[in-house]
Structure 1
Amino acid sequence: MEHSVDEDGVEMETQSSDVMEGNEGGAALVESKAFCSQHGDNVYVSGISNACGDVVEQIRASSGVITSPGWPFEYPSRINCSWNIRANPGEIITISFQDFEIQTSHRCGLDWISIGTYKNLDGYRACGSSIPAPYISSQDHVWIKFHSDDTLTGKGFRLSYITGKSEEASCESDQFHCANGKCIPQTWRCNTMDECGDNSDEELCVHPNPPSSSSSIFSFQPCSFDQFPCVSRYTRVLTCLPPSLRCDGSIDCQDLSDEIDCDAPACSELRLQNFYGTFNSPNYPDFYPPGSDCTWLIDTGDRRRVVLRFLDFKLDGTGYYGDFVKVYDGLEVEPRRLLRVLTALDSRTSVTTIISSSGQLRVHFYADKINTARGFNATYQVEGFCLPWEMPCGGNWGCYTEQQRCDGYWHCANGRDELNCSGCGEDEFPCSRNGACYPRSDRCNYQNRCPNGSDEKNCAFCQPGNFHCRNGRCVFESWVCDAQDDCGDASDEDACPVAVPTRVIAAAVIGSLVCGLLLVIALGCTCKLYSLRSFERRSFETQLSRVEAELLRREAPPSYGQLIAQGLIPPVEDFPVCSGNQ
């Protein structure tokens, strides 16, 4: 088992190949993400991605549908399929079966489906024709594994799942609020299955013909030869559709099966040559067809720059690359002129604005054949030119709509869209639509005058004595280059000289003083020693004066004869006496 942390900060556990039963060749983890709204206007659907073979498909969508290969027809023999559903930390996963027919065997030893957490993968194993009870996880991840041997097969299974907290204060309009606080889809209400966990979703229900253990209220008969089965995207009920609805560019099936493996929609290249205009993904606001490949060439015929805005943007992020939009500065595909690549990660932003360097732009939209989403709606205009439903801010300050007038947010850099609003005095601006106002002098001075802080948002300029951050905030100029990120994007600390901390400077000064003092003491000692040595040497090398020589001269001691003559010592017999002849 390995632990890793994905880009969202969620700790992940992955299994090595030697513990994945029926996957001896090693299991690869394939991440499948769906950027969807709370109810899954884009939910995960199995069968579109290959989860069988040497692949474990990791699912991050908040809801979805998983079916056995070939459902509602017989699944193949000798297959191993694996799915790993991961919810947000603190959430649980609820799984409910709608159709179930897997070969019956003793202890489900032949064909089976197992559901559980990593440490207890086979804790919930099922086979046969009876719909299993709903599975409610105790953790934020669930492993699902489907296995078939080389003997008999069956229709397989269809299950749906939803992730969420075990207790919620309220639920959405298309959800049922369980007595224990849990939220489940309304379609699970009164289906004879306890998805709530306290059976509150089955109370006060009427079942005139309760299903037997060998049949399912979700049983489905195969369609005729001139029809194809799918779960309706609108009713979420399995139905049969005529072939005329296949590959018609409109998604009718929840699993996109009516638009999979179709020829790419006729989108090609569209040339837009007005000063302004709008364009959108195919079928917008409905889902765009899988495999869409569209290009818009914007050529205004003017030298002024083009302002491109994506007012609504939602792409699918499943698959290896996911769907994307590329915007080029000019009409040609040149990597060095690529301005922006928009993916499903940009679906969370409100409005995305891209500005060219000339009057030309190239917008390329590509969608794979795995999943789809709502798409996008975009506008373009020559800089300084307003759309018909917009009003000018004046000069080159942009434009604003009637809905943006007096909403407390400066859409014009000069504030024209917020000037002279009802309830405010002359040269005053509203904080919002609640009546509070503030003067121009309080705009962008790093002092919140409005309760919601709108007077400090979207600042194009700052009051004197303030620094304008890249993110539009204003901070005091004295806070620039103080080694503190006051802007929030560190722009107040860019291009600053290297500042040495005061503590380091003080330590350096004190150390220098100590070193200097020690050096002075060492020099003094050296000089004193040198002086003493020099004096001693001079005392031996200098000639003595006559007086000094007389004082220092000493007489020689008396001879032996003189001592005897003076009677200081007795004579010695036979002591040789020197004569004058000798």
Structure 2
Amino acid sequence: MDPMDAGMRYTPKSSDRDWDQAVTFLPATDSTKLEKKKGPGKIAAIIGVVVFACVVALMTGLLVWHFHYRKDEKIMKMYSGSMRITNQPFLDTYEDSNSTEFKALAKQVAAQLRDIYTKTPALAKFYVDSTVQAFSQGSVVAYYLSEFHVPKSQEAAVDNAMSSMNDPINKAQRSFSDPTGSLFYDSVVASAVDSRMLMKRTIQRVSERIRPGHPITVKSPGFPDYPYPSNSLVQWQFRADPNSVIQLDFETFNLEGECKNDFVKVYDSLAAIESRVMAEKCGYYSPNNPLGFISSGNVLLVTLVTNEEGNYPGFRASVAQVVKGSRGTSCGGTLTGNSGTFTSPNYPKYYPPLTTCEWTIEVPSNMNVKLIFTKFMMSVGQPNLCLMDYVEVNGEKFCGNFSSNKVVTSNTNRMTVVFYSDASRVDRGFNATFSAFEPSNPCPDKFLCNNKRCISTSLQCDGWNDCGDSSDEKNCKCSSSMISCRNGLCKPMFWKCDGVDDCGDRTDEMNCAACKPGEFVCGDGKCISEKQKCDGRNDCSDNSDETDCGKAAPCPQSNYVCKNGQCISKQNPECDGENDCKDGSDEDCGDCGKQPYKTSRIVGGQDATEGEWPWQVSLHIKNSIHVCGASIISDRWLVTAAHCVQDEGATRLSQPGSWDVYLGLHTQKMLEKAEKRSLKKVVAHPNYNAYTYDNDIALMELDQPVTFRDSIRPICLPSAAYDFPVGKTVWITGWGATREGGSGATVLQKAQVRIINSTVCNSLMNGQITSRMTCAGVLSGGVDACQGDSGGPLSSSSGTRMFLAGVVSWGDGCARRNKPGIYSTIPKFRAWIKEVTGV
């Protein structure tokens, strides 16, 4: 019987019985012989001392047992492993666990394991039993499960002994003899079973043989009609022909977001051997973020583990047999010419384990080689130590993840690139380009960064880290129009006193309080009269003049108000996972602001992942093209910009019948995949100013409620007191123009920007910023919203949720340097939104 099938049935027996047998009581004594006519005699005294000593010894023993032995109770430990039997031919019947041949060889392997364990001092006294789970080819690989009952104090020692089982076998092959013959074996691997797999009430195992040219489809139980079952362990064992590997591609993957609850593990093995785990995955992956694996050999194990609650749809995957050496499984070779591109095997999906590739790059003899890794994701063990997977370029190893392009150059016309992956924990790998350059002039008419990147000379000493290693900002002489940081950097003057440490040593944030005597400094740097402090009116835009006034007052606007009227001074308490309100209203958030799909680390430009921004809406003029964006805030209401719904000649954009609304859309050329809706009502803010774009916000009511799903979901609305601090990273999304004056994007775009100080922004935008506007962007230029993005969301993350920080409103061109994007500030309109929509 497979011990994993029994769950916790193998709880160690208590050792109480052994201790009970060790307690010995003295026999009863004839009381008449102990009587004294005149008083106690010597015999009685001796007996009394003996009895007392026995009682003391008994109590001492019980105390020792209670505090030492009972404390060191035994626990069940399960170890999964494999061994390669070198002197046995593989029989097809070994794939059938009910066959006579399987049972006979399994009995030999179990006996052999017992012999190994009993000869290992650290394991002998704790070993219980072993069960063979499967066999595979090569010559014959046996996969087994071994059970031990281990005192807690010895758990680490047993783990170490099991993990080092293969060490002596690497030095000399071992053999084992029993009445049925001798087995020769090597390559013994063992590791502790994931404890989450031992606690499941329902266990299901499936074995599949993959045939050439006949891929199969595998689904989690119930998919797609029902969510996967709770408290379950489901395992799929896949076998392929010799000299083949198995390709696993998830077409749909939708599990709970916390891997500690529900997860899928993929093993380069037929048993759940942790030292052979390729990846552990949970959450959501869309087809645009491919999740796929390739085994190193002809076996693969997929394990689904679920807990007791929060079950999700599950997954569907395709499993196919691929010949070793075919496209996707092979790599390396010689690369010649002036430029080229190459990738790790199976990129952008996950590379296989136990793989080594070598490329030789050769460019013309008078040139050198420049190699740029545009994407780089390699599994890493200890930080800064490339002990697991790595890429080695001319003897230098690289591993982990690079957030920006990694550049490596050679001193000759040749370069050697080696890719290596060990037996476990794979990743997506790399995408690389190489080019030839002239050694004497590596960056013609450009600035050469220390990391070998080439940038325009106009970007040198402009206050921006354009190289990525700041080498373009070193050894600079700051002009009078720039901040001279104490650390030697130069920064634009408009960054001074903006609340963000741009210098890195806070030089730009020093001596910022320039108010006159008798004036109060607001939190945003504004100066007001001291007489205005604590006068009951909010004269500072951040209400800092009405805080700490030492008197009971109504809940300040800067505080959060619970539904029961309780005033919470904690900043941004809503939907943060903690009940700050006594009535719990701060956590009454529903399902808003949750991104159903994981954000891929392979952005691929600025294309969003399908379903990544489920509150994003595309607004089309009736039977025409996309013109604006919007955000879902409830099952009936949308938020957009007021300037999107202003009448233009004969086009009555203020009327609901003029619009087609597309929900759950990703690609504009695939409108049929979205949910098309009509509008019942359009409500522009009554104080919208078409000249200044002040109060640039509008609401739209759908003609009927929408049913939420992964690709259609509302974003969370912040309270009136919610604060989006200066410097915070936020997201802009939309189908607008990808460059100023250009055409709209086909695929939904995304970009990260940061919130900019309103005083700085007002100076950059020539005094056009009001208190109802938020500035956000990248002041170095290149990232911004543009025409067609209007009305769309400015999304800000808080924990596991996204909040609507603003609505795309206006800007001076698109993505210009020192010209941020301007957004309508949602907290300023929270009361109006509530009044109109009830949301």
More strand as a share of residues: 2
**What is the TM-score of this pair, normalised by structure 2?**
0.24
**What is the TM-score of this pair, normalised by structure 1?**
0.32
Larger radius of gyration: 1
